[in-house]
Each structure stands twice: as C-alpha cells, then as structure tokens.
Amino acid sequence: MIRALVDRLLTSPRTPELLASTVAINVLALGSSLYSIHLLNRYVTIGLAPTLITLTLGVLLAIGFEVLLRKQRQNVLTSLIQEADTDASNRVFSAFSTTRYEPLLQIPLAERREALGAPATMQQLTSITNLAAILDLPYALMFALGAMLLYWPLGLFGVLACGLALLLGFLSEREQRGAAEDYAKANSRAQQLGQFLLTAGEAVRCLPLIGPLSRRWGEAQDGSLGSRRTSMNLQALLQQSIQNVGQLLSVVVYAVGAMAVVRGDFTTGGLIGANILVSRAFAVCSRAAYLADPLLRAGRADAALRKVEVTEAASTAGVTPARFEGHLSVSDVSFSYPQQPVPLFESLNIDLPPHQVLVLTGPNGSGKSTLIKLMLGLLSPGRGLIRADGIELRQISQGWWRSQIGYAPQDAVFFDGTLRENLLLDRDIADETVLELIREIGLESFLASDPAGLDRPIASHETGLATGLRRRFVLLRAVLGDARVVFLDDPTEGLDQAGQAAVAKLLNRLLTEKRTLVIASNEGFILRAADVVVDMSKKPVPSVVRPNRTPPEAGVTP
Ligand SMILES: Nc1ncnc2c1ncn2[C@@H]1O[C@H](COP(=O)(O)OP(=O)(O)OP(=O)(O)O)[C@@H](O)[C@H]1O
C-alpha cells in the first residue's frame, strides 16, 4: 500500500506540479529569515522606515504566495490520497472475497483483522500533514545549508539536531513494534467479544454468562488498552525528547552565534536569520520523526494484507470448461483439519453421474459439511482428488466454478440489503421466477406482510426473521438460477412440517430440472430420493451405497 502510494506520487501527471509547489513553498519559507537578516543589518545605514516598509511588503508577499501554494499542494495531495484510499479499499475487498478460503483460515484472526482494517490504518498515515512532512523533508537540508552559509557551526548544529530527531523517531518505531503486535492481538480479542455482545444480546441476558464474559472482557480490554497505553507512552517520550532537543538547539545556536557576534565574525541579523533557518530545518525533521508510529502500523497492515493476497493468484488461474454436465467424483480422498490427530475420513470414493442425488448422512460432527466444503472447492483434500466432469477442482477457475454451483450453507447468511438483492445476487433473474418459487415454498404470506415485497430490507444480523424463514430463503437462493450442481447443507434444519414440505417441493423441482444434487441430511424423505448415500458415521472409511431410489416420478414427500 505504501509502495503503491509512492508509485502514485511518482507517476501521477500532477507530480511535477506537486514537486514544483513543494520547491516554491520551501524557497518562500526562506523569506522570514532573509527579512530578519536584512532588517537588522540595514536599518542603521538606510533608515528604519524605508527598510521596514520594503522588507515587510516583501515578506508579506512571500507569505501570501506560500499560503496559496500550500493550498494548491493540498488539492493535489487530496486527489492522490483519494485515489490511494480507493486502491486500498478495493484491494481489501478483492483479497477477502476472491482468495482461496482454506489458506485464508490458516492466517491468524488478529492478522486478518489487521488486513481488513488496512485502509483505515493507511488513512492515518496518509494525512495531508504527514505527506507534506515527507515531501518537505529534503528541504530541511536546504535550510540547514542556508544557516551554514551564514555561519557554518550553526548550520552544523541544525544538521546534527535533525539527525537526532530522525534517530529518535527510528528508535521509537523499534520500541513500538512489540506494543503494536500485542495491541493487534488484544484488540482482535476485544472486537470478537464486542461482536458477541452485539449479536448475542438474548443469551447474554438469560444465561449465567456475565461472570466468564466480564472476566474475558476485562482481560481483552486490559490487553488492548494496556498495549495502546504503552504505545502512547512511547509516543509521549518521543515528543518530549524531540522538544528537549529543540530547546537545546536554540540555546546552543544563540550561545555560539552570540559569541561570534561579539567577536565581530557574525551579525545580529545573521544570527536571528540563522536561528530561523535552523529551527525550520528542525521542525521539518521532527514532523517526519513523528511518522514512526503511523508508518509502523501501516507497514503491519500492509504486510497482513499481502499475506491474504498471496493466495489470490492460485484462485484466479485455472481452466474454464466450455460445457459442464454436472458429473462429480471423489477419488481416494482423505481429510483432516490442522491439529486433528486422526483423519476425519479417508479412502473415500464416490462417483456421482450428472442429474443424480448424493446424500451425506451421519451424526453431528461426522464430517458432512466438511465433505460438502471439499466438493465446493473451499477445502482441499489431504490426499486424493475431487473432479468435476473429470477435471480436478483445483485446476478449475474459481469464478467459473462459482457460476456452476448453487449452495445453501448450514448458516443462513444474508448481507445488509433488500430481500431481492439477497436472493438474486448478481444474477439476472426475472421477478416472476422468484415470485413463483416463493409461492411454491409457501412464503407468499410472508412476502405480502410487507408492502415493500421483494424490496423489503433484510439485515445481516436480522433476528426478526424466523429461523425457518431464513432457511427457506437460503434454499430458494441456492435453487434460483441454473447451477448444474446444487449443494444443500442440512436443508430441513429448524423447519416445521410446512417447511419440510417446501423442501420436498424444491427437491422435486430440482430433480425435474435434472440438476446434480449433493445434500447433507439424515431426513428419511431426502434419503429415499438418493442415488448414492454416503454414511459418514463409518470411520475412517465412510460407507458408500447405491440404494434403490424412489423413482423421480413418484416425487419426494416428507
Ligand atoms: N474449521 C475447522 N477447523 C477445525 N475443525 C473443524 C472445522 N470445522 C469443523 N471442524 C470439526 O470437524 C468435524 C466435522 O465437522 P462437520 O461440521 O463437517 O460435521 P457435520 O457432520 O456437518 O456436523 P453437523 O451435523 O453438526 O453439521 C467436527 O469435529 C468439527 O468440530
């Protein structure tokens, strides 16, 4: 992100304008020191009034131009910052929506949160003041050189003080590293608990949760606030040290300069002018030294984001078959989650020809959802291959595969938007088709309960929408469109009789439409519709049977 901003700064068509205004601003800043030198050196020979009028007009003109140029530089920087902000936010969205899921899960949650917050972190670094401080930094040398030309020891003190300020900034950054790491971890825990308090309000109030929750909350807050405090103390120390160096610089400049004036080696005007120049140089350096903290945080966020992005290349490559019949096969597949001592299953072989129904059955935790995620390509098998129409899933383009599958996950998730947006996603489907399906699964009275109809808002954290309704809408979403393979994870979970009848209707529709179906369920009526049943309770090798399926024309009934 930082490199992208630097590249943008270097390659933007407005860069020459930016650099030219920076040069002019800093050259004009010399005006006040020239003013002091000339005023104090000339009024004796030329007279106070004419000197004062000429020089004051001159310096006011210089200040006026400087203000205009700063404003103009601010405009250029604002547009560059806006472009960099958009870049950063697009990168985050793309990293979290298109990277492969499994490697993403391997990245610790705290780091994923840092990557997600990268645009905000970057914004703290790329304020106009901070960028101006970076642009002005080389001119600190110009100010110090100016002072050197007046009386070299004073310029040298300026250079040394600048170096010291930058060194203090560098040392502070190194000290901050540990605190920043602790903060990221503790802050992630605090955010997670905050999320729980936000979304589990009912459980928090009705279960005896307050004790364990408040203990964890206290620990997380202590950790997060404590490491933030450490970091703020370090920043305060840096600020104090820089102030002290500044005071010392002023004393040394006046002491050495005054001695030179007394000896007749230097003028009073020159001394005041040199002091202004040295102070300017030091001010520029100290502003740059304060960038240590935002630079460190932006660097960490950038590194975390790049870690997430690394997996992206693999997901965008891959073949896009011209046709897809809907044939799935699982060959000698084994899988275990990291840190799991024994495989969840192994040596699994399934052949699912197009238009057939595979039902995964077994008790809770037996691996039904996991096998679905493997067949979706979200997880990769430890051993063996999963193929779609004979092509290994890992070789297929993720984008293409996404367009071929429908998926109703076990968690009925929605995003903040209208019901229509949540059902249609980015597919072009006519309202009539949606309404027909809504009627088919008995949701028309729910739809009619709000005059907004399909445009009724539905929130990601919606608790007002009954569980059974949420599930039915999620199933509807998976079925809409023309996905060749539809995956339904526990489609009847939380459904009443009417809901089960709705699922049966949807299944009948899918069978008639000749889609390939993969369903995780222990429901009898769904098992009766299966061409292939995989019993995940058999360990370590699940049993695969081809039962005598109820003929499709007989339909699926609960
Ligand atoms: N991301 C994960 N990391 C580690 N272990 C996991 C992960 N997801 C699931 N597991 C574990 O893998 C096992 C199988 O889980 P899975 O959700 O596939 O079972 P399931 O048969 O679908 O269960 P249910 O019927 O309750 O939905 C469980 O022991 C679960 O705790």
Q: What is the pTM of this model?
A: 0.78
CA of 485 to the centre of ligand 1 (A): 22
Exposure of 79 by Cβ count < 10 A (0-12 exposed, 13-18 middle, 19+ buried)? Answer: exposed
- Structure token pair of residue 545: 């049977």
The 10s digit of each residue's pLDDT in 57-113 is 777 887 888 889 889 888 888 888 888 888 889 999 988 888 788 888 888 888 999
Average per-residue pLDDT in the chain?
Answer: 87
Query: Can you tell me the distance from the alpha carbon of 159 to that of 466, in angstroms, rounded to the nearest whole number?
Result: 70
Judge whether residue 127 has pLDDT over 60. Answer: yes
Query: Can you tell me the distance from the alpha carbon of 464 to that of 124, in angstroms, rounded to the nearest whole number?
Result: 38
List, in sequence order, every residue forming a beta bridge with 361; answer none if it has no partner.
535
pLDDT of residue 320: 87
CA of 107 to the centre of ligand 1 (A): 19
Give me the CATH topology for the region 2-186+230-315. ABC transporter transmembrane region fold (1.20.1560)
The 10s digit of each residue's pLDDT in 355-380 is 999 999 999 999 999 999 999 999 99
pLDDT of residue 292: 84
**What mean pLDDT do residues 28-50 have?**
65
- Structure token pair of residue 281: 């140089």
Q: For ligand 1, what atom is nearest to the CA of residue 360?
A: 21
pLDDT of residue 224: 83
pLDDT of residue 368: 97
User: What are the b/e assignments for 29-61, b being 16+ CB within 10 Å?
Assistant: bbbbbbbbbbbbbbbeeeeeeebeeebeeebee
Q: Are 137 and 282 in contact (CB under 8 A)?
A: no
Which residue has its alpha carbon closest to ligand 1 atom 11? 365
List, in sequence order, every residue forming a beta bridge with 480; answer none if it has no partner.
none
pLDDT of residue 313: 55
Q: For ligand 1, what atom is nearest to the CA of residue 338?
A: 4
- Structure token pair of residue 230: 């450490």
**What mean pLDDT do residues 277-281 have?**
91
Q: For ligand 1, what atom is nearest to the CA of residue 490?
A: 27
Homologous superfamily, domain 328-554: P-loop containing nucleotide triphosphate hydrolases (3.40.50.300)
Q: Are 300 and 122 in contact (CB under 8 A)?
A: no
For the chain, the structural domain boundaries read: 2-186+230-315, 328-554
Judge whether residue 189 has pLDDT over 80. Answer: yes
**What mean pLDDT do residues 431-440 have?**
91
Judge whether residue 553 has pLDDT over 60. Answer: no
pLDDT of residue 45: 58
The 10s digit of each residue's pLDDT in 295-346 is 888 888 999 998 888 765 555 567 888 889 999 999 999 999 988 888 999 9
pLDDT of residue 438: 93
CA of 371 to the centre of ligand 1 (A): 10
The 10s digit of each residue's pLDDT in 224-278 is 888 888 888 988 999 999 999 999 999 999 999 999 989 988 888 888 888 889 9
pLDDT of residue 339: 82
Judge whether residue 32 has pLDDT over 80. Answer: no
Percent of the chain residues past pLDDT 90, beyond the cut: 42
**Model confidence at 19, in pLDDT bands (50, 70, 90)?**
confident
Cβ-Cβ contacts under 8 Å for 135 (sequence gap 6 or more): 18, 22, 73
Residues lining ligand 1, CB < 6 A?
A: 337, 344, 362, 364-370, 410, 490, 520
**Model confidence at 521, in pLDDT bands (50, 70, 90)?**
very high
Backbone angles phi, psi at 245, to 5 degrees: -60, -40
pLDDT of residue 309: 86
**Model confidence at 391, in pLDDT bands (50, 70, 90)?**
very high
Q: For ligand 1, what atom is nearest to the CA of residue 372?
A: 18
**Model confidence at 161, in pLDDT bands (50, 70, 90)?**
very high
Query: Can you tell me the distance from the alpha carbon of 248 to that of 306, in angstroms, rounded to the nearest whole number?
Result: 43
pLDDT of residue 202: 81
pLDDT of residue 49: 67
**328-554 and 2-186+230-315 share a CATH fold:** no
Q: Are 440 and 513 in contact (CB under 8 A)?
A: no
